[in-house]
Chains A and B, each alone.
Chain A
């Protein structure tokens, strides 16, 4: 009996271990477009993605801080990534989304032009940010290589950091 049990357990472990490995080696990202570029952030740093809703302007802030909005009773800042990345402002379209990201206690919404897809990337396919832009102030965590494209992975904690 106990042998059988042992067998089952070891079998289960066998089944689990490859998937464990998989989880360890794979990073899940959510890709989105801002302007012409495709960016991505780790899926675990995303609280939710919503369609644009009304917001209230907050004075004395840089233009990329659009203001604050009400997310089921919480007041959350909303930041336009187009403006933050130095692009021209664009009117919101059907595809515009607010991505609400969190890092520890920090929460903020970010306006993006279009969602692309959820992406699974092997860790070994992620390289560091190009040396030329790799400094303290950079928003870029790393660059993911996929068969047909290159994906910029953003630092969520950097995005959520107040820089004004």
Chain B
């Protein structure tokens, strides 16, 4: 049973591979029906599949492929000219073959699909001059008499009934023989492999894509030399392909990629530690060595990452292959003449992306055929070539791949698009007035939008382009549309090369950090707060020619914002699919390579969060989901300018002296008591801390809102300078007055205090009145 499963697996893999090439070959065949090489290739596919499926007892599939083979064989011998009508039948049968193979893959049997209709038509096609024979069962003999010169199929057909006639034992023997043959073939391959690599050959089964081929040749052993010669090269070729490629389970690659991800995190951490060490032990000799090691490790890690990424890459041609067939069908359906020009099909992309990109491309191309390319007469009237051209192009651009779909059709008219959008209620009149050309083009991606007057088979439901947008957004891609009326429409999809490890821009808001995928960042600008305007409760800014809506990251992520008096704001310009938005952040930290980790089932689907990553310092940073963020920004009211009044009012609301809170940080109990007694008469609340660490913990706990801090400089665990520096790291405490109270009197000590962010410097001993007046001044005490 296992053996059978293995053979079945090989059969399926091979068949799918063959069929992938088949579509393209067939379309090509239609334009060059005389190409014998092409015909032979197509015939071989039908034949191989037939041979293997009869061996595996897939009767329906055998039946179908057999009749396909008849038609193709006639064409091969010049008895039949492939007309578009015949081609339609052949293509239909190939579609059936595909669905049969899918059924086999899923259920290990080929029942449930009715092929008789198609077989009938194939027979009519094969009959050509009216010599129609309707054969529904496997009564092949009858047909063979009609095709007496059909030697190849003859050979194969003689085999088929053989299996039926065999007794169980004979079948056993036959299987034994075939297995032996296969083993011999495998052995030969293994030896060939050993000769070159000597490597582990446990993998030989998935690594050898051709075990079915020898069987096929075996099945047609009695066929004339012609056929044998044709199959033979395929067998001979097998060992060389085995040397070059190896089939690997995608799961293994995924695992490898995860490991690399961990390594990248480790590397980031190492770099961070190296920086810290560098700071502390400046000029030490071992530093140089450490530096070298760190840079080698990071270099190798990067290379390794690229190498593993490459193993997961597939040529985009895999996706492009199905389009010639699609264009052919569409142009017949729509009665237009359309030519598809493909370039850059070798451009490689991560497997997961290749899988996602197919659907959007189908929709875009259908759209181009239906709406882009005009009907024949219109084209001729406009003085264009009657054959419309659709160009499908892929190329690399930095860390992205660009896929461009361009048609030389009627182009997009922004005014008409706006009118339709208003009529369909997609946008309002007001919005339409404000729209620029590019934004109007972007309308075609809105759900429910369609320019088609009526719903046809091909398009017009207003769904397709929305699918494009959603899928491209999922891949963090950007869509760019360009068009000139009457000349062309061009849609560019810009997609990051890989999804697992990405470059990100780290931004800060208050004490929190967030990572934004760099693929979505168009630029960053610093603007003065005066440049932010409010329109209908939404903040906007003008950047060059465009008006951008703005949103504060704090509003999206519910960050409690404390009064921020800086004149400037940093704006990160985000672009995703066709939309753009400005995100205001408190600070820009820098660019970092991050590994996307999921937040787990429990926190799945949090709006605005795409995942998390682990930073160099071991902390977790959340990754922004730009698509969500753009969506969320629409429902958030502006607080960018309005928050100032509110927060000032709450922080200044003091009803009694005890509402004021001051922290005293000193390691000496006596000193603390002296300070306390000096300030006692004011009636304010005093909190004590015995050292810097404790003070910081109290502050961080957020239990108290301090108006000022009195800090001793010399303390165990954490001294006053360090404490001040730590406190000033939090923008929340940027305006908290820190007052040094110390016996250090040197000028340099004072300077250090100022550097650390202390506003006052009181030297011990001091008079209680002086201390009180300093504190009063700093907390703006008015009782």
Contacts and interface: CB of A to CB of B under 8 A. Distances in A.
A160 interface: yes
A67 B513 CA distance: 13
A75 B703 contact: no
A93 B611 CA distance: 30
Interface in B233-259: none
Contacts of A74: 597
B602 A58 contact: no
Given A56-B620, A68-B620, A70-B619, A160 B599 contact: no
Contacts of A73: 262, 265, 614
Interface in B550-599: 556-559, 597-599
Contact of B620 (A55, A59, A108, A160): A55
Interface in A58-80: 58-61, 65, 67-70, 73-77
A57 interface: yes
B335 interface: no
B600 A61 contact: no
A105 interface: yes
Interface in B595-622: 597-604, 606-609, 612, 614, 618-622
Given A77-B599, A105-B601, A162-B601, A58 B701 contact: no
A70 B614 contact: yes
A55 B603 CA distance: 14
5 contacts: A55-B620, A57-B512, A60-B607, A68-B599, A91-B701
A59 B557 CA distance: 5
B585 to A, nearest CB: 15
Contact of B599 (A54, A57, A75, A105): A75
A160 B602 contact: yes
A107 interface: yes
Contact of B600 (A54, A67, A106): A106
A59 B614 contact: no
Nearest to B597: A75
Contacts, number: 71
Interface in B608-654: 608-609, 612, 614, 618-622
Nearest to A55: B620
A60 B606 contact: yes
Nearest to B559: A59
A108 B608 CA distance: 21
Interface in A86-110: 91, 105-108
Interface residues of B, number: 28
Contact of A162 (B602, B608, B609): B602
Contact of B612 (A60, A68, A107): A68
Given A58-B606, A60-B606, A77 B620 contact: no
Given A68-B620, A70-B614, A91-B701, A59 B601 contact: no
Nearest to B554: A59
Interface of B: 262, 265, 512, 556-559, 597-604, 606-609, 612, 614, 618-622, 701, 703
B44 to A, nearest CB: 47
Contacts of A55: 620
A59 B619 contact: no
B152 to A, nearest CB: 55
Nearest to B618: A70
Interface in A20-78: 54-61, 65, 67-70, 73-77
B612 A56 contact: yes
A77 B620 CA distance: 11
Given A68-B603, A76-B600, A160-B602, A60 B701 contact: no
Contacts of A58: 599, 603, 606, 609, 622
A43 to B, nearest CB: 22
Interface of A: 54-61, 65, 67-70, 73-77, 91, 105-108, 160, 162
A56 B613 CA distance: 11
A65 B599 CA distance: 13
Contacts of A56: 512, 612, 619-622
B614 A75 contact: yes
Contacts of B609: 58-60
| Most chain A CB neighbours (cut-off 10 Å) among B558, B559, B601 | B601
A75 B612 contact: yes
A59 B607 CA distance: 8
A160 B602 CA distance: 7
Contacts of B559: 59
Contacts of A107: 600
A75 B602 contact: no
Given A58-B609, A75-B597, A65 B603 contact: yes
A56 B599 CA distance: 12
B674 to A, nearest CB: 29
A77 B603 contact: yes
Given A57-B512, A61-B606, A70 B620 contact: yes
B272 to A, nearest CB: 14
A65 B602 CA distance: 10
A59 B262 contact: no
Nearest to A73: B262
A160 B250 CA distance: 31
Contacts of A59: 556-559, 606, 608-609
B603 A61 contact: yes
| Most chain B CB neighbours (cut-off 10 Å) among A60, A61, A108 | A60
A68 B614 CA distance: 11
A67 B512 CA distance: 12
Nearest to A53: B618
A154 B512 CA distance: 34
Contact of A77 (B558, B602, B607, B703): B602
Closest 4 CB pairs of A and B: A59-B557, A56-B620, A75-B612, A75-B597
Contacts of B703: 91
Contacts of B606: 58-61
A130 B556 CA distance: 43
A102 to B, nearest CB: 11
A78 B733 CA distance: 27
A136 to B, nearest CB: 19
A60 B608 contact: yes
B318 to A, nearest CB: 32
A61 B618 CA distance: 23
A21 to B, nearest CB: 37
A59 B177 CA distance: 66
A60 B609 CA distance: 9
Given A55-B620, A56-B619, A60-B606, 9 more contacts: A54-B619, A56-B621, A58-B603, A58-B622, A59-B557, A60-B557, A60-B608, A76-B600, A77-B600
A63 to B, nearest CB: 11
Nearest to A161: B602
Nearest to A68: B620
Nearest to B703: A91
| Most chain A CB neighbours (cut-off 10 Å) among B597, B603, B614 | B603
Nearest to B632: A60
Nearest to B609: A58
B556 A69 contact: no
Given A60-B606, A73-B262, A75-B620, A106 B701 contact: no
Nearest to B265: A73
A55 B600 CA distance: 15
Given A56-B622, A57-B512, A108 B612 contact: no
